[in-house]
Amino acid sequence: MIADDNSFNMAEFQQGSPLAVARLFEMLYRPLVYFAVSITHDKAEAEDIVVECFEKAMIKKMDFDSLPNLRSFLYVATRNACFNYLRSLKVDARSQQELQYLYNPMNNDNADLQQIESEVLSSILAEIESLPTQCRQVFRHVYFGQLDTREIAGRMGISIKTVRNQKARAIRLLQTRLLKKGLLPAVFLLQILINQRMLAEQPASLLA
């Protein structure tokens, strides 16, 4: 779900309220992990980095006077930790420079877009997890596992027709639920994901 500033109480967070900490984690953990994965390309490492950044925020909790200020700290801390991780892997200098430009805090427009994209994707992921079981499994195999219809049918022990029906049902349910919640950016991002997968499934001769 996209973060709702009105549902977070900064004073309670500064007092160490477990509920306030849990709410912050609920709002920002997934978007931050997505942000970290986009830099490190390592989900496990990204999750560790984000948890460590939350711990740093807790230690510095009295330094923040608003949720936007706290959110900015978490994104910058996550970005810096990701670059430190890449340096530890001895990623070539040119790649690091390109990434540092892309995620430079001085590029405010781009930084805002990264944050928005992360939170929009988080809302899509939350809706995917709420899909009916078979529907969810098919959708994840198609769009995250990059499997084609025949491979999914074989892996799940169902017919090709069922795979196609469940994929169409998943898309329909996701679009409907996101629209009902007024998450139009999420609908657009979902459509981009669908279009990219459709292009990937096209025979090379049709794309020439």
The distance of Cα 187 from the centroid of its chain, to the nearest Å, equals 14
Which sequence spans correspond to the domains of the chain? Answer: 1-121, 130-208
Name the DSSP class of 16.
T
Which range has the worst mean pLDDT, 18-22, 54-58, 193-197? 193-197
Find the angle CA(145)-CA(150)-CA(156) to the nearest 5 degrees. 65
Q: Which two tokens stand for residue 163?
A: 């795979």
CA 193 → CA 129, 162, 186, 198, distances in Å? 16, 21, 10, 9
Counted residue by residue, the chain has a size of 208
* Number of Cβ atoms within 10 Å of the Cβ of 77: 19
Q: What are the b/e assignments for 144-170, b being 16+ CB within 10 Å?
A: eeebebeebbeebebeeebbeebbebb
As a whole number of angstroms, the distance between CA 111 and CA 75 comes to: 9
Class of domain 130-208: mainly alpha
Q: Which two tokens stand for residue 67?
A: 């949720």
pLDDT tens column, 118-174: 666 667 777 887 899 999 889 888 876 667 889 999 999 999 999 999 999 998 998
The pTM of this model reads 0.51
pLDDT tens column, 54-67: 999 999 999 988 88
Structure confidence at residue 80 (pLDDT): 87
